Structure 1
Amino acid sequence: MNRFSVLLIGVVLALTGCKKLTDPAPQNNGDFENIYDEPSLAHGLLLNGYTRLPTNGWTFSDVATDDAVSNDATNNFRRVATGQWSSVLNPLDQWTNSRAGIQYLNMFLAEADKVNWDTKDPMLATMFKDRLTGEAYGLRAYLMFYMLQAHAGWVNGVLYGFPLVLDPETPTSDFNKPRATFDECMQQIYSDLAKAEELLPLDYNDISSASQVPAKYAGVKTENYNRVFGRLFKLRMTARIAKAIRAKAALLAASPAYSTANNPDRWVEAANRAGEVLQLNGWLTNLDPEGVTWYNNKAEIDALASGAIPKEILWRTNIGSNSDLEADHYPPTLFGNGRLNPTQNLVDAFPMANGYPIRDAASSGYSSGTPYANRDPRLAKYIVYNGEIAGPTNAVINTSADGLTNDALNRVETSTRTGYYMRKLLRQDVSRNSASINNQKHYRPHIRYTEIFLAYAEAANEAWGPTGTGGNANSAYDIIKALRNRAGVGRTNGDAYLESVKNDKDAMRTLIRNERRLELAFEGFRFWDLRRWNQDLNETAKGVRIQQNVHQVIDVEARSYQDFMRFGPIPYSEVLKFNALQQNTGW
């Protein structure tokens, strides 16, 4: 008998019974205690941690930086950049989302020992409990990292983070908790990650013999081990992912904005943590040669089986078949809204193909009359500039001010404001034409290996200089040389520019930061990087006006940040409710 038949019988009995039709029906609400005998309900608490990961979707906070503007006048990051950022209007907020996720995870952790994970096999029950508990610790640490990044700040000379709430809150809890210091929050993140690493496998893979079962689960059958830790659980939190989160957190803690004495020990910690992740992946021997275009490697993406992870990706979301990104960001003639417009500032950050910055006119060969010739190949892969082709029909996109289509500079509300459109992240085989619309597979990386390579390079340069390794397999110089070579930069001249700065720590720092800007463009890093580096947030966003083939750099959008905005606010509503909660200075 199917569920519909059962429901129908129930309705008939209700209508023919002796009770009045006006009597309230009993609600189908279970008690919280049901989680102990229904593991799927307890599992639901854990899944709330996954659904609240900020990296589940694109935010495009680049619009709040010198890398991009938006043609959408209501875009909240545009409002942030132009002076409307406040503790009431904060699209960069992680307080509400992350704290809600942490509350669910705290509930799970408080009850996990009481759940009957498997009523027939105690060892299976133990393994399920270990894995899910490890996932919860890893997820809680990651949400704490995002809270710290978004809300750490100074109050009366002390660098604070957020209130450390490690137990589930109830209606009778004391919600008026003070903020812990930044260092206390970091230690809690590290503690949670250590527990996750202890409980989780490095990766989820099926084993083929009992000899591969970890000693702590000795005696477990191969098939039972695979039921808990096998390949079906790929994309869930693992020890490898926990190590990568630790590397991200360590880099944040070592950065100038959070390390008042520019503590060299923190840079060593950050380098070694990133190095540990890279060592597990074979360092540069496993650098994905196609990693620059991970988002548009069509054959690879289309062939991804459930849980499969491309070489460039350490952790990713599920695959979705849609064309939302293209609908938002394709140029108008490709039936898109052209929302994110890369700036001239970002275009100028791409070097020439020979590796020299364009500002070095003598060595680079740059010409303002032909500004896109012989440039870093990543420029054409990431940005649509005037005369480039795009979309499934290889249409020529004319962004000049005297262009005749809606792709032209400021032609209509969906036109570019800078003379550029975003290409990165978009699949060029998507059609938005209503006569032939199609969807294609996309995924979102939670963590890319390139991010970890760049974190290592940054920290290693600060800790040991450009060519030092601290006992690791590679130096900052090695990493940057490999990334640039993969991108097609400096191949014809041995990357002479890199060679010229390889013994200069300050020059290498500038180069590493620029490589990070390019490699991670539009992926939501630039805003946070500028803040943690204590760099200028107020560089005017520029564009290019092309008329009769003459290129003129123009101011597009002024930035309006005050110095205290290097650290984001605590939500105003929270400060109003709880007097123990001190607001960051200036907000």
Structure 2
Amino acid sequence: MKKHIILLLVMISIVGVSCSGEFDEVVPSADRPADQVFNDIGLARSFLSPAYSGVVRTPQLILEYNTSNAVSIDGAQRTAVSGPTAESSPVNGRWGAAITNIFRINEFFERALGIQFDALNEDFGNALKNRLIGEAFGLRAYYKWVLLKNYAGPSSVDGSMLGIPIIDDLLTTEDVNNVARSSYLESYNSIKKDLDSAYARIDVLRYEGNDDITGVQNTSRISREMIWALRTRLDLFSASPAYGIITWEQAAQTAYEAIGVIDGGALKTLQDYGDFNNTDNPDHLWRRAFSEDSDLERQHYPPSMFGTGEANPSQNLIDAFPDSNGYPINHPNSIYNGLNPYQNRDARFENFVFYNGENDFRNVTIETFNGGSDAVGGVRIRGTRTGYYLKKFLSSNVSLDPDSPGANKDFKVFALFTRAGLYLDFAEAAVEAYGINGSDGSMTFTAKDALAIVRDRNISNDLYLDIADDFLNSYRDLIRNERRIEFAFEGEYFYDIRRWMLPLGELTVPVRGMDIVKETDGSFSYSEKTIEARNFTDRMYYNPLPRTEVLKSNALIQNAGWE
């Protein structure tokens, strides 16, 4: 008998745990045969829950190291400096993880549709079963999206735009090896179909209250907010220059409708960033279960704060932060001062980056100047390569100093989809579809309105927004720059520069840092330095499929240029 390539019930027990308690049930094992698991609504839920394990729950810094946004303190990534290969790509691991979770979801569909209801509470059993089926459709749509986002590209055979292998049934190993990649449009429609099926079964916009089915304890699960956010991001990508499968008008309408449903038809003021530890942030449209620890602080605090300072933001990214009036720092009206480059900047600079001098974070002073405690050879042999350290995602409540009182852990919340991201998705699609005004005439808000909300959280006196919208190119560049800043260190820029198909000249600029010298009078002098080269060629607009997957398949076609 053929063996299914799925997680079989005869495998050893696996325990899926999150600190929030949302996914802490035991996965079925040999102690629970199939007829028991899939005839019990609770055990069936346990079987599906591990399919959440592949959902991103931490910053995707490896992708940032493959752009000009950041470098690792450990040294250059070969895939960034020399270029990726089909054997070694920064996204290679995403293929197997997504396919594995799709297999589990398909087994759930194969077996769980016949789940018996809770004999003691039929209404609860029916409601939970319906939600679980909706979750399964939503998760399958998400993993298809992961595959499409990472691997869509032109066929190496005829140049047609290919998507993903659509696997909607419980297949054998032999069957899977004969599944070809569908077209991008077919893949797009398959994701939309799964999202629509999820939407029909999940009748909750946002999990709130204490109800067993719709209560806040289910926050990390699929909701209608998540479905709308994913629909919007899918359409944004699909309309982009790299794919061009749908129109910008369609992408803008999807985003507008999403905002209408989620926000009730009116744009909302965004919450402050705080310490990125708000487990009930209303701007989070979908996040995985949070944790309570100090892992990110240990990994990214500067050495003087007892961290290892792994991620070093680049000067390229620092220069993208406007001044406190919203002007790009090279604009004639900018109040940016190169002699004192860290004053009068967009508030996100203070929230996202540790820089040389006094930082508004635990009242610390960071010393990245030559000879300083956070420079190379300071507190530790290794120090920042760029003059900066990552601050975003870290909590000022956490103290790693063994001699200083303070909390040694705090909540960590990483959202995949946010209200700010939704507004930026709309702003980009609307301005491409409708020009400077960013509206089809019937919309109650424009691209400019949405962008203003995002900037207002960070720029108290935005004088540049009206100037930027005089010219389409200026406004397009402004939106793209806002995405670069807002999504900094999340990995999204890696995909944006590809779907925008930015000119090769922009993608091959070296990563820069800042050399800082402390003068005898206590002042500092600043001079830029080159940190790493960047390699980007035409074929890299589309990632390669992992070569091992192509070789073992009878049907997969590689993306052009990666044969």
When normalised by structure 2's length, the TM-score is: 0.87
Q: Aligned pair 1:440/2:401, yes or no?
A: no
Return the offset for 1:451: 0.5
- The change in CA–CA distance for 1:413 and 1:39 in structure 2 (over 3 A counts) is farther
Question: What is the match of residue 304 of structure 2?
Answer: 333
Decide which structure has the larger Cα Rg and report it.
Answer: 1
- Give the Cα–Cα distance (whole angstroms) in 2 for the partners of residues 283 and 387 of structure 1: 43
Structure 1 residue 388: Cα displacement = 2.6
1:289, CA displacement in angstroms? 4.0
Pair 1:228 & 2:228 matched? no
Alignment partner of 1:530 is 2:497? yes
Q: Name which of structure 1's ranges 194-203 and 369-378 shifts more when overlaid on structure 2.
A: 369-378
Q: Distance in 2 between matches of 1:88 and 1:461?
A: 38
Structure 1 match to 2:144? 144
Identity of aligned residues (%): 33
Secondary structure of 1:90's partner? coil
Is the CA contact (8 Å cut-off) linking 2:350 and 2:360 kept in structure 1? no
Partner of 1:476: 447
Counterpart in 1 of 2:20? none
Unaligned ranges ≥5, structure 2: 1-28
Deviations 1:263-303 (A, max 9, x none): 7x62122112222222221455522241xx15x166xx3xx
* Corresponding residue to 1:376 among 340, 343, 346: 346
Quote how far apart the aligned CAs of 1:230 are: 4.0
CA, structure 1 residues 283+526, in 2 after alignment: closer, same or farther (shift >3 Å)? farther
Q: What SS does the aligned partner of 1:173 have? A: helix
More helix per residue: 1 or 2? 1
Contact 2:162 2:181 in 1 (8 A): yes
Name the counterpart of 1:111: 111
Provide the residue aligned with 2:89 in structure 1.
90
Q: Partner amino acid for 2:455? A: R
**How many angstroms apart in 2 are the aligned matches of 1:285 and 1:278?**
7
Among candidates 523, 526, 544, match of residue 551 of structure 1 = 526
Contact 2:59/2:491 (8 A) holds in 1: yes
- Distance in 1 (CA, whole Å) between partners of 2:58 and 2:220 is 15
Amino acid at match of 2:313: P
Q: Helix, strand or coil: the match of 2:113?
A: helix
Of residues 573-582 and 408-417 in structure 1, the stretch that sits farther from structure 2 once superposed is: 408-417
Aligned to 1:59: 60
> Aligned in 2, Cα 1:404/1:124: closer, same or farther, shift over 3 Å?
closer
In 2, distance between residues paired with 1:174 and 1:385? 50
Aligned to 2:134: 134
DSSP 3-state at the match of 1:552: strand
CA contact (8 A) 2:139 2:222 kept: yes
In structure 2, which of residues 238, 245, 251 is the aligned counterpart of residue 253 of structure 1? 238
Quote how far apart the aligned CAs of 1:83 are: 1.6
Query: How far has the Cα of 1:390 moved from its partner?
Result: 6.0
Q: Which of 236, 248, 257 is equivalent to 1:267?
A: 248
Once the two structures are overlaid, the 10-residue window that deviates more, 57-66 or 324-333, is 57-66
Q: CA deviation at 1:391?
A: 5.1
AA at the equivalent of 2:218: F
Question: 3-state SS of the aligned residue for 2:65?
Answer: helix
- Mapping of 1:162-561 within 5 angstroms? 162-171=164-173, 173-203=175-205, 226-259=211-244, 266-280=247-261, 281-282=263-264, 285-290=267-272, 293-294=273-274, 296=275, 301=278, 304=279, 309-360=280-331, 362-389=332-359, 392=362, 394-401=363-370, 403-405=371-373, 407-409=374-376, 413-436=381-404, 438-470=408-440, 471-489=442-460, 491=461, 495-535=462-502, 536-547=506-517, 548=519, 549-561=524-536
Paired residues for 1:26-45 under 5 Å: 29-45=31-47
SS at match of 2:416: strand
Contact 1:48 1:105 in 2 (8 A): no
Pair 1:124–1:404, CA change in 2 (3 A):
closer
1:248 maps to a residue whose letter is R
Shift of 1:236: 1.5
CA distance in 2, matches of 1:201, 1:252: 27
TM-score by length of 1: 0.83
- Distance, in Å, in 2 between the alignment partners of 1:89 and 1:254 is 28
Residue equivalent to 1:574:
549
Question: Following the alignment from structure 1 to structure 2, what is the Cα–Cα distance between the partners of residues 354 and 174?
Answer: 55
Counterpart Cα distance in 2 of 1:388 and 1:480: 30
Q: CA RMSD in A?
A: 2.2
Local SS of the residue matching 1:584: coil
Answer yes or no: is the 8 Å Cα contact 1:391–1:429 preserved in 2.
no
Q: Does the aligned pair in 2 maintain the 1:118–1:125 contact within 8 Å?
A: yes
Q: Any unmatched runs of 5+ in structure 1?
A: 1-26, 208-222
**2:206–2:224 contact (8 Å) kept in structure 1:** no
